[in-house]
Structures are given as C-alpha cells and as structure tokens.
Structure 1
Amino acid sequence: MLQSKSNWKYWIPENVEETSLEDINGLSPIVKQLLIQRGLTSTKEINQFLSPDIKNLYNPNLLSSIERATERVHQAIANKEKILIFGDYDADGVSSTTVMLKTLQELGAVCDYYIPNRFTEGYGPNEQAFIEASKNGFSLIITVDTGIAAVHEAEVARNLGIDLIITDHHEVQHEIPDAFAIIHPKCSPDYPFNELAGVGVAFKFAESLLGYFPKHLLEFVAIGTIADLVPLVKENRILSYYGLHALTISKNHGINALKRVCKLEGSITEEDVGFSIGPRINAVGRLQDAELAVQLLMTEDPDEAEEIALEVQGINEQRQQIVNDIVKEAEAMIDQDHDGVIVVAKEGWNEGVLGIVASRLVKKYDRPAIVLTIKRDQQEAKGSARSIPAFDFFHYGMKIRELFTHFGGHSQAAGMTLPIENISQIRDKLSEYMHTDLSEEDFKQEIVISECLSIEEISIEMVNDLTRLAPFGMQNPKPIFQLKEIPAEVRQIGSMKNHLKIQFANSQARLDGIGFGLGELYPYLTPKTPISVVGELGINEWNGIKKVQILIQDMKIEERQVFDERGKKRIEVLSYPNQRILYISHEKPEHSMDKDWVNYEMNISELPKADVLYIYDLPKRVEELRQVIQQTQPTNIHACYTVEESAYLTTFPKREEFVWFYALVKKRKKVDLTREIASIQKTKGWTREKVIFISQVFFELGFVTITNGVISLNPNPDKRDLSDSIIYRERLNKMELEKVLYYSNYDDLKRWFNNCIMEKDSPKEELANGS
C-alpha cells in the first residue's frame, strides 16, 4: 500500500436537488455533473454560468456610500482640487491604481497616485504619507485595495482637512475607519456579492464616476481579480471572463510587452495571469517600489513599455533566487519533529517575498507557517503567514490581536508586525489553538475530487468540453479526476529523475500521465499493481498530434504490495513515515532499531503487527515464514533475501540412486570414500556433493558407519524410511522453500504472500520458538 500525500475528498454538494438538464443542448454528462456539484441546477443559473453576460453585473449604486463618493470626486474635479490615489504594492493594488488613475485622467482630474514602499512604510495608509499629501495640496485621497483597517489614518486625514474615500475588499476588523465614504462590499448590506477583489471595487467606482460601463478597463480587472485569488464566481467570473478576452486583444503597450516577456501567445487564460503576468507584477512590489509596475501599465510609449517589461522580468528572476535562498535557510531552522505552527525569523530576510516562502513551507510541512524578518533597530519583526485549509489564520490571529502591532488578511493568508519579544508567545498560542481544534487528518493538504473516471471515458472531446467551465479559480476549481488502473509502463524522467511518467493502457484505451515532482515515488510502485491517481486532464500536442494526458497531483495504492528484491546485493530501504516497520533476519541490520528487528528464533505468536516487513533471510521451513506473515499482517512486504548455496538447483538423489549406493556398500562391505569417491562419480555421473549427501543420510539412519572416510555396512540396521532422516527432510524443505520463495515468478510469490494472510483464520499447528 502507498499512502496519498493529501486528503482526498469527494465533491458532494449539500442541499442540492439534482434536476433535469435536458433543456440545455450540447452538455456532456460530465459537464452536467460538474455544474450540479457547483450548485447550479436551474436552466437560468447554468446559462448564466456557461455564458457570462455583462448585463448580469450588479448596479454599482448598490454599494453603500458610492453615490456620496462619486459626488465628492466630481466636485473635486470641478473645483480643480488635487486628488491622490493611494494604492497597494501587489498585483491587485497595482491594477486597482491603474483603473482609478485612468478613470480620473479621463474625467480631467488633477490627480496623482501613491503606493507605499513595502520596506520603509509597510502595508496600507500611513500618517506620514497623509501629512506629505496635505503639504503637496491634496484635499481628497482615494484608497484602492486598502484602507479598511486604517482607523488612525482616517482620523489623521480628517484633522488635516483631507476627505478620505476608502475602496477596499479586505476583511473588516472590529473598528471601521471614520472616513468621508467607504466603498466596500462587506460594508454594503444591499450589495449581493461580497467577494470582489480590490480592483473589482475600484472598477465599480470607476463605472459610477464615468457614468457608463468602462469595457476598456476590464483587462486590468482580470489581472487583479485572478492574481488576488478571490472566488471566480458570479461577478468575478463575468469580469474575469471578459477581462481575459480583453487581455488577449489588448492594445495596451505595457500589457503586450509583458506578454512578450512571458512568451504568451494566443488566447490568454487564467493560468497565464496566475502563473506569468500576476507574479511578475507582484515581483516589482516585493523587491522595490511598485510604481514601476503602474508605469508599465500606464505608458503610451511602446519602447518604454519594452524597457520596463524587461526590467520587470529581471526583477522577477531576482525574486525567484531570493525566495529559494530564504527557503533553504528557513528549512534549516525547522526541527524534523516540529509539530506546531511553524514560525521562523531572521534578520536581513527580504520581507517582500516572505509570503511566498511561507507558502513553500506550508506545502512541505503541512503546517501553518509564519515567516518574519527581524528589524533589530526597531525591536520588531514583520512578515507573512500562510495556512492549511483547516486553520483559519485570520480568525485565530484576531484571538491574539493584542500581541501584534499590526495584523490583517484572510483565512489562508495574513500580514503582520509584532514586537520581537512576542514571537515565541504567538507561536505557542497559535500552536495551542491548532492542536485543540484540529485532528491529525486536518494537517494534510486537501484534494477535492470531482469525479472517478475510467480511461475509456476520457477523450479529447471531453477535455475540450470542460473548458466551458473556465475561467477556473477559487470556488470554481479546475476539475480534479481520479482513475484507478494498472500501469502499462512507469519511468522516471527529467535530468534529476524527479518526475514520473506513467502510461495507462488496456484493450480499449490509452492515457499518459505526468507527475511533476513525483519521481521519488518510483521505488514505491510494484508490477501489475493498480494505482489510483488524481489530477487535472489536459491535451498535450507534439508534432501536430494531440493526446489527452492527466497531470498527476497525487497517487495511492490501496492493496498489499510485494517488492521483489530477491538476489539483489544492494537494497534501498524506503521511508514509511508513521508506519511500523519490522526487519526479519538472522542478524540485526545496521539501519534497524532493536525494537524493529525480529528473527525466526523468537516466539512468533508474540510478534507485533507491522505495516511493512523487510525479509532479509529465509527460515529453515516455509511454514515458519507463513506464520510470521500471518502474525504480523504486513501491507507491504519487501522480499530482500538471497540464496548462496542452492538446494533447488542441485539434483536431489532419486530413490533408485540410494538403492544402488546401498547395494554397493552391501556388496563390498566397506567403501573408502577418500580413495573411491572419484570412481563412483565417474561411474554414475554424480557430483561429489550427491555422494556425500547419500552417505550422510545412510549414516543418520544407522544403515552404515563412517570412520575416517570409510563406510562400513551395519549388519543389523533398523527398518526405516529415507524420510526419517533429518538431513533428508531438511534438504527437501530447503528445496521447497527455494522453489516457493526464491525461484518462483513474481505473480506466484505475490500470490503466496497474499494467501498466507488470507489463511490466517484457518486452523494451523502453532509454531513457537522456531521449532
């Protein structure tokens, strides 16, 4: 058996009544099922989902305070007041800033934008920035993708005579800022959708300000919405759907330069934004001032756009290297047996990438992780947290809010500043909550499986049909499918052998599977063993030939396995975390603990149960190993033994050969083997070993005596059968042992082990103390 790395959960919709979908033409059964799983059962809902329509977006005026804010901005424009857009340094903040800046410029406003420096100012509005804005004559500040936690800064603005309009989407904390206006879906009881990204809120405000639907801004909305990982349903689905199309046909010089740097051609997908465009925009704010990213999206000069895009690419490559370096340092700080919330901190770490580092640690250790950079001169630590699905970081962080100087974020991600002396207390408190509220299964990552398929059900047409559900994202994930099949071929690929390529095939169909980063599982796979894999379906095109493939995310084997390593000189001992391993051998292996080593001389009835059994040596009799298998009940058996002097490959004397030799001794009375053994070998064509073996059997049975190599006939022997000889029986037992356990083919060996376990309840003579 092979355990999966993640918890496999099957998508079972709650409170959904399955309905007939015959009214919708052209839907395949699998797409119908996926729609039902998403809670979409009515014809109207499904049509709206499959055919997103701008007409289904909500009226911006349903957002509280938006009319008041719109009126104030138009008043400022009419009075030539200076308006400052206060943004954020991530992709959502940059795209929000761009949307608002383009809107105000179109309206003829006297405006500028400001994005705080992550390293010198930190996240969100700050007092000094507002003071500088006042000195520079700004009387109106509009925040985008930030501000809902700026209680103090709102008071500062009011005291400075600045009207503050907050547009944000982050979680609302205990106290709401006293601002001129707050445009926030979660502060708007009449607004039907609470999950807009920061750029989505800015876009709604832009629509209200412009008085028409600004299609030309949709490409920026798609970037921020997809990159910020908000749920891609309802309004976000519509905005992303049209925004992706806008990105595909974009005339924006900055976006097109960025697409060229990313080597993106053809239709832009949510994956292109999530894995190429978004990370590069994010990289700018992670390492330096995010204004460069706004300049890229705002420039009207194609040459300048090309230069900035190349600079952004260089920054992203630098960011990747910094992340790798910090991850290595962080991993070195984490104990192997660490079981609490991971908290690592070091002076000098680049705070702009700590969220990425935290994500890497969560993925590796399956624990919530906080990664902090220590600022010794300020006696504080600053950084980011990422979490596992079962641990709501925002919820638990708010329970100890007093330990943070600043804290905010979502259930799976948070940012924070805290006094250095509070680090250990925060770790201990969060770890206590984690162990109290979570079970062992909660610590594994989750994979939600949409459907179990056979390879016969998978086709290019089916995969193409799945694209009707795109764009995929939070709450509309790309479907994950499970299939169970015996692989026709398995091999490691890649220069480091760190990937796995599996071909599934039967008489009716064939499917390729690729498991990136799963190469380490290769030794855990055994021949003719069904494996269950889960992953996304895609189409791989090579030299004009299209084939369906499954991108494997995880795998498991649900039946007992036998690893045939018989006769190998070098045995690789596999790692089985949290499983009981036993090693059975005549002498204790160097790599085993005393408690894990057993031998055939022990009382077999007292052997413990085991998940994994390594068999390094064979017993004297087949029955001994049968009893060990039945007692330990292993799920994985490694047959690692070898045979030095084979009895099975040595010809066993026939009964007539015993008769001939006895007749020779009886006729001659005495036979001196030291002088005559060669003659006997030549006459009968026997081996030396056979002559000696027959002699020893006769000696043990009392038929002859042997003195100094001379065999003499016993004139009055007892009447006994050859099988009464222990040597004779041991030789037969050894032959049977080797036949069954060493020279058998893999199928027969596996069948024998499985039969041992299945026969456990049948009555057997109890075997103890190796007798």
Structure 2
Amino acid sequence: MLESKMKWKFADSQTARPAWDSNRFSPLIKELLLQRGITTREEAEAFVSPDLAQLHNVQLLSDIDKAAERVHRAVNADESILVYGDYDADGVSSTAIMIKTLHELGAHCNYYIPNRFTEGYGPNEEAFRTAYQNGYQLIITVDTGIAAVDEAALAKQLGIDLIITDHHEPQEQLPDAYAIIHPKCSPNYDFKELAGAGVALKLAERLLGYFPKHLLDFAAIGTIADLVPLIGENRVIASYGLQTLSRSRRPGLKALLKVCDIEGGITEEDIGFSIGPRLNAVGRLQNADLAVHLLLTDVQDEAEEIADMIQSINQERKNIVNAIVKEAEEMTGSVEDQGVIVVAKEGWNQGVLGIVASNLVRKYDRPAIVLSILSEDGVMKGSARSIPAFDLFTNCMKIRNTFTHFGGHSQAAGMTLPIENLQILQVELNNLIHRELSSEDFTQEIEIAKSIALPEINEELVEEIRQLAPFGMANPKPVFQLEDIPAEKRQIGNNKNHLKIQFRHQNKTLDGIGFGLGKLFYYLTPKTPISVVGELGINEWNGYRKVQMIVQDIKIDDNQLFDHRGKNSSQVTSYVQHNHACAAISQKLPNMTDFPGSVQCLTYDANVNSLEETETLFLFDMPTDLETFKLLLQRLNPTNIHACFQLENSVYMNVFPSRADFKWLYALLFKRKQIDMNKDLPMIMEAKGWTKARIEFMIDVFSDLGFVKIEDDFIIINPNPVHKDLEASVVYQGRMTKVEIEKTLYYSTYDELRTWLSECLKDRVNSKEEVVYGL
C-alpha cells in the first residue's frame, strides 16, 4: 500500500444534462465544460471557439480616454514619452507592445526597465528624476506602478504626467497619477484578471483606433507567462496570440524560438516552459533591457546574437537556482512545526529567489519566503510563494509594518524588510497560518476530471481535449485517473530521478512519465495494480507519435510484498517512513542508526496480545515455526511486508536423508555394535558420498529415539531398542519443520510467498467474522 503525496479531489459529478442539446460536443467535452461552470450552449461555444468579438469595449476602462488624449497631445507636440516597464516576461512584453504602438503613432519615445538589484521592483524616485533631467514630459508605466504613491507625487512635483497601466493588486492608497488604467480600478469593466500585457494591449487599441492584431504575439507571451487565469478575455488573447506567434516573422521571436528548439504551432506550454523562463532569466541576472531589445529588433543577425546570449543567461540562471535550492533545503530542516518556511542568507541572487521559493513550496507543501541579506543596507530582499489554502497577500498586509516594501497577490509576493524584522516576520506569519489552516490544508491537492480505462485512451481523445486549450490558471489541463498493473517500470534520467512505467492491454500500450518520482520505483511491486493521475499528451519523436501520460502522483490500495530475500539488508532502511507505523522482527536491526526510533523491534516470543497493528513490517529473522509466525502476522496485520530473510546455513538446500539412508546406517551400526566417529566417519563419507553434517544428523535422530547412545567419540548400538518411527524423533521433526519454513518463506517464488502471506491475513478476517456471527 502506498499513500498518494497529494489529496485527490475528483471533480463534481454532473448528472444533470447541460442546457443545450447538440451533437457539437462529445460527452467528454460536455462533462469537462460543466466542470468549468459552463452550462449554456452560448457559453460553451464561446469557450471552445474564442473570438476577438468577445473582448470588452476598451472605453469601459476608467481613465483610458483621458490617457489616450494625453498621449496624442504628446505625440502632436513632439514631447518625449518614457515607457517604464518591469523586468519579467509580462513586463518586457508589455513594454514591447507600448513601444511598438508609440512608434506607429510617430511618437518620440524610449523605454526604461529598472535594475532588479540596484533599484528593486517598480518605479523609483531616482529614475523619475533622471527622466525629468532627460526631458521626458510623460511617463507611461506598464505592468507596474499601482503601488507607486511616493513616485507619483514626485512626478507631479516635477511636472511630469504619469499614466499608470497595471494589473497587480491595488493597495489601500492609490497613486495620485494623471491616469490609472487598471481593470480592478474600473467599476464598469467586467473582466478584472488581465495581465500587464493585456492592459497594455487595451491602451494600444485605444491609441491606434483599431484592434492591433499584430501585437497579440507579445500579449500572449505576457499573459501566459504571468500565470493569470486563462478565461474570459485572457483566453481570447492567449488563443489568438498563439496563432500570431506561430506565424510571426519578427526576427527576435524567430531567434528565440530557434534557441528554444520549438518548431511548428506554438502552444501555451512552449511559452510557460521555454519562452517565458528565458525572457525572465535576463531580468533575474542582469538588466532586462536585453530582453526588450530582442523583442523589438528588426535585424535578424542581431536577434540571433541576442537570443544566444539569453540562452546562456538562462543556463546560468538554472545553475544558480540549483545551488541556492540545495542551501535553502539544508537550512529548512524539519518542517513539522513550521507553518511558513522562511530562509535567508547573504549573497543569494535576488533575481532567482521566487523560483527557489516555488521549489520549497513543491517539496514541503508550505508557503515559502526566501530572502537575500544585504548587510550594508541593513535590509533583506526576496520573494515568496504560497499554497492555495493561504492568501499570502492578505495575510502579509495584516503585518504590513514589518516590510519596507511589499507587493504581490494571493500566491506570490516580493518584499523588502529590515534585518531585525526577520524573526517578527516568521513568528507573525506562523501564528496567522496556524490560526487559519488545519494540518490537512498543507497537503497539496490535485483535481481529477474523471477516471479512465486504458482502452479509452488514444490519440483522438487527446486531440479532442485540445478543444479546451489554451490551458492555464482557472482552466487547467484535465487530469485523469487510471488504475492498472504496470507491465514495465524503470528509472530514467542521469540521476535516475524520473520514473517510466508502461501499461498494456491487448495490443495497446501507454507510457507514463513521472518527473521527480524516480524513488517510487522501489515501491512498485510485481503484479500489483497502481492508481496514477496525470495529464494526457502526445510524445512526438523522430516522426513517431504516441500517447503518453505525464504522471503527477501514484497510490497503491492493495497490500504489498517487497522481496529483499538474500539481498543486502541495509538497503531496506530507505523504505522506513517516519510518519507511518513500522515494526521489525529481528534480534537486532541492521544499521540500527538508520532506523527511526518509531520502529518497534520485535521477536517471535513477543506477547502477541500486547502488540498493536502496524502499517509496515520488516521480517529479518526466520521463525522457528510457521504457526507462531501466522499468529504474529495476524496480530500486526501489516499492509506492507518486507521479506528481508538471510540464510547462512540452509537446511532445505542440504539433501534430506531418505529412509534407505537411515536403514543402511543403522544396519552398519547393528553389525559393528559401535562406531568410532574419528576413525570410521571419513570412511562412511567416502563410501556413500555423504557430508559429515548428514551423518551427524542421522546419528542425532537415532540417539533421540534411543537406538544408540553416544559416549565420548563412540556411537554404541542399543541392543534392545523400543520400536519407534523416525517421525517420532524431535530432532527429525525439527529438521522437517525447518525445511518447511525455508521452503515456504525463503525458497518460494514471489507469487507463492505473496499468496501464502495473503492467505494468513485472510484467515485473520475469516476468524473475526466467525466470532462476530457466532455471537
């Protein structure tokens, strides 16, 4: 039995028919649409077939007309306009959208991306003063600015008009800007979840007087990379943007796709796992200007050179992340009493701390805050990531005074705080999370669309599911549950940290890949059904297409037998799980230091009635009789049994003397009356080809039955023995018992041993039923 790492939550069963009657959608698509809250034909059509006509009127955004009038006035007066962006993929995409738009209007403009390390997130006063000195009279922020209260005041003081376009959570006080274009600050605008690039696209539409389809590639990158909900307008922008990106002729995008090794139609996964991370990597390690330059350049050679530089930066970013994650995990230690993980160290690269925090959240199922200590400034800067059950933004706002700077949303945030506030931060957040959440809330949850059988899975099914793409936040790729017996299993990857399993049914096969699940290889036992949950997709390699499942979690409901017989017993320590009941039958556990104190060390003479049930049982010592073993097994009632038996002197493998052997030896003794063990034994061994141990055993049986007596080294025949059968000898019976034990528990096949153990435990259930019904 293997517990799942996550909580499996099956989507609500929709027994009611949808409010449409059409063959337009298959039963599966109808069910998936209903799970997304889509109940009418109109809603279903709009979801499956996104259309630009579904986009809302831009003039419903507050201040957008005022902002457009000011920009046009600046263009006509040849004023200098500065686009102030952010250093992530959404920020650089938004910057590219606004610069392209202003160029089309003929504006005199430039862009500015703050340096993450020297300036931090968002507008800053020094940058605004520099803009003033350089003659800029209008600043437009994209993907940033909603928290820039002081900077807006400074701009007003300097005589610079500030237009803020943003999508991050507004705080208690809004900046006193010339105009604020923000869905959440616009009561009449129905869709509140636009990314920064989506808001920039809206302003571009208003400025140009038509919808700029040619900018949808940038908008799709920002929207998908920023993990905003891919529903409503975001779904339309992403869907059309992916099409635009797939046929884009922009040199920068073509060069970026080349280093990402992406060909053909672009998917949301290409942006999420390849394009977005590379654009983000630039701002994480240096100034993000390089990423904006790549998107804007019209020179192919320059684009390819920049793309190669970005590829190298991204590899460097990966190396830095791996190093910091390792250090952070060592600092984290035990998380049992930690509601929120907080780690800090001097020298950590601030640009990658959000990725590190995400790694800690995935590993420990806890919100994580990762901070870089800047001793010279007396502050710490870093990033936080959360779990679905804990609203990080809301709870951090309850202790807002702890931070010098803070911003973000429910699942992610950035912050700066004095070094001396570190303990306050940890204590206060731990208090908040323990008051708000139970222990179950920390377990990661996965929502499963439905259970599916292997014969149902094919390429047509995967293509059918793609009707609901692009997938992302609020529209996750459907996860399916499959239960079957793996035909093959193996560890893959350089460090064997991934798991590959294959299921077969008649002539149909399905490969499952579990990234990071390599250790579960040892928990899969032969001929045991397993349940897997994961996403279905197409693995395309060398022109060959095959359906596969990306496995996200595994569980096993059946009792299991792990066969370590004759193997190095030290290896079994890796199976001990600290949060599960474990027991071991052994005079002394091997490598005792590797076993936690929670493991009960038992022997076969233990008082059975005093024992409690255990989940996992390790069997190191062979029993002296099978009945005692059965009673102990039934009392402990384990779900997982590890057979770790070792044999040095096997009885079963030594040939058991036949009746004819006993008869020949007794006849020799009867004839000679006595035998000298030192003198005659070698002669008998040579004549019969018997081992010394074999002869000694037969003599012990004769002695036990009273046929002979042993004096010094002589075997003397009893002239008047009482007739007894060989089976009456305790020595003979003991040998037979050992043979049966070894045959049953050690030399049996895996299937034979599993069946025998199962029958033992089944007898326990049957005997309980007899007692209950007998009463």
**TM-score of the aligned structures, taking structure 1 as reference length:** 0.93
Deviations 1:514-551 (A, max 9, x none): 22332222222211111222222122234433221112
For 1:83 and 1:523, the matched residues in 2 are separated by 62
Alignment of 1:189-268 (within 5 A): 189-268=187-266
Q: Which amino acid aligns with 2:628?
A: E
- Residues 347 and 682 from structure 1, CA distance in 2 versus in 1: closer, same or farther, beyond 3 angstroms? closer
Moved more, 521-530 or 508-517: 508-517
For 1:556 and 1:532, the matched residues in 2 are separated by 5
Deviation at 1:267, TM superposition (A): 1.0
For 2:685 and 2:142, the matched residues in 1 are separated by 100
Partner residue in 1 for 2:514: 515
Alignment partner of 1:572: what SS? helix
Partner residue in 1 for 2:42: 44
Deviation at 1:198, TM superposition (A): 0.8
Deviation at 1:100, TM superposition (A): 1.5
Deviation at 1:651, TM superposition (A): 4.0
Q: Which amino acid aligns with 2:5?
A: K
Deviation at 1:142, TM superposition (A): 1.8
Deviation at 1:207, TM superposition (A): 1.0
Which one of 177, 183, 186 corresponds to residue 185 of structure 1?
Answer: 183
Kept after mapping to 2: 8 A contact 1:261/1:313: yes
For 1:569 and 1:282, the matched residues in 2 are separated by 47
Deviation at 1:761, TM superposition (A): 4.8
Deviation at 1:685, TM superposition (A): 7.2
Alignment partner of 2:78: what SS? coil
- Residues 675 and 178 from structure 1, CA distance in 2 versus in 1: closer, same or farther, beyond 3 angstroms? same
Which one of 712, 726, 741 corresponds to residue 737 of structure 1?
Answer: 741
Partner residue in 2 for 1:750: 754
Partner residue in 2 for 1:578: 579
For 1:261 and 1:165, the matched residues in 2 are separated by 36
Partner residue in 2 for 1:767: none
The yes-or-no answer on 1:151 pairing with 2:149 is yes
Partner residue in 2 for 1:100: 98
Deviation at 1:161, TM superposition (A): 2.7
Partner residue in 2 for 1:590: 591
Alignment partner of 1:61: what SS? helix
For 1:658 and 1:238, the matched residues in 2 are separated by 91
Partner residue in 2 for 1:622: 626
Moved more, 394-403 or 428-437: 428-437
Deviation at 1:695, TM superposition (A): 2.9
Deviation at 1:682, TM superposition (A): 7.5
Kept after mapping to 2: 8 A contact 1:17/1:41: no
For 1:593 and 1:363, the matched residues in 2 are separated by 25
Q: Which amino acid aligns with 2:304?
A: E
Alignment partner of 1:487: what SS? coil
Deviation at 1:305, TM superposition (A): 2.2
Deviation at 1:501, TM superposition (A): 2.1
Moved more, 557-566 or 432-441: 432-441
Kept after mapping to 2: 8 A contact 1:24/1:43: no
The yes-or-no answer on 1:535 pairing with 2:566 is no
For 1:721 and 1:761, the matched residues in 2 are separated by 38
Moved more, 622-631 or 753-762: 753-762
For 1:63 and 1:272, the matched residues in 2 are separated by 31
Kept after mapping to 2: 8 A contact 1:13/1:38: no
Deviations 1:643-663 (A, max 9, x none): 233333344445676567666
Kept after mapping to 1: 8 A contact 2:66/2:179: yes
Deviations 1:227-262 (A, max 9, x none): 100011111010011111111111222212222222
Moved more, 717-726 or 481-490: 717-726
For 1:89 and 1:145, the matched residues in 2 are separated by 9
Deviation at 1:677, TM superposition (A): 5.0
Alignment partner of 2:4: what SS? coil
Partner residue in 2 for 1:413: 412
Kept after mapping to 1: 8 A contact 2:567/2:646: yes
Kept after mapping to 1: 8 A contact 2:485/2:503: yes
Runs of at least 5 residues in structure 2 that lack an aligned partner in the other structure: 769-775
Kept after mapping to 1: 8 A contact 2:19/2:41: no
Alignment partner of 1:733: what SS? helix
Deviation at 1:126, TM superposition (A): 1.8
Q: Which amino acid aligns with 1:696?
A: D
For 1:535 and 1:679, the matched residues in 2 are separated by 71
For 1:162 and 1:18, the matched residues in 2 are separated by 58
Alignment partner of 2:513: what SS? strand
Partner residue in 2 for 1:12: 12
Kept after mapping to 1: 8 A contact 2:570/2:590: no
- Residues 674 and 326 from structure 1, CA distance in 2 versus in 1: closer, same or farther, beyond 3 angstroms? closer
Partner residue in 2 for 1:553: 552
Which one of 598, 601, 604 corresponds to residue 600 of structure 1?
Answer: 604
Alignment partner of 2:383: what SS? strand
- Residues 92 and 17 from structure 1, CA distance in 2 versus in 1: closer, same or farther, beyond 3 angstroms? farther
Q: Which amino acid aligns with 2:538?
A: I
Deviations 1:674-720 (A, max 9, x none): 55556766787765544433332332233443323444454665676
Kept after mapping to 2: 8 A contact 1:571/1:640: no
Deviations 1:376-426 (A, max 9, x none): 222111111111222221121111111011111011110001011001110
Q: Which amino acid aligns with 2:343?
A: V
- Residues 113 and 628 from structure 1, CA distance in 2 versus in 1: closer, same or farther, beyond 3 angstroms? same
Deviation at 1:598, TM superposition (A): 1.8
Kept after mapping to 1: 8 A contact 2:84/2:123: yes
The yes-or-no answer on 1:726 pairing with 2:730 is yes
Alignment of 1:194-593 (within 5 A): 194-337=192-335, 339-340=337-338, 341-507=340-506, 509-569=508-568, 571-573=570-572, 574-575=574-575, 576-591=577-592, 592=595
Alignment of 1:104-115 (within 5 A): 104-115=102-113
Q: Which amino acid aligns with 1:99?
A: I
CA RMSD after TM alignment: 2.5
Q: Which amino acid aligns with 2:604?
A: Y
Kept after mapping to 1: 8 A contact 2:503/2:509: yes
Kept after mapping to 2: 8 A contact 1:481/1:535: yes
For 1:305 and 1:693, the matched residues in 2 are separated by 87
Q: Which amino acid aligns with 2:583?
A: L
Partner residue in 2 for 1:66: 64
Deviation at 1:80, TM superposition (A): 3.2
Moved more, 74-83 or 717-726: 717-726
Deviations 1:263-307 (A, max 9, x none): 222111111111222112112211222222222222233332223
- Residues 71 and 385 from structure 1, CA distance in 2 versus in 1: closer, same or farther, beyond 3 angstroms? same
Kept after mapping to 1: 8 A contact 2:18/2:30: no
For 1:31 and 1:152, the matched residues in 2 are separated by 50
For 2:249 and 2:678, the matched residues in 1 are separated by 102
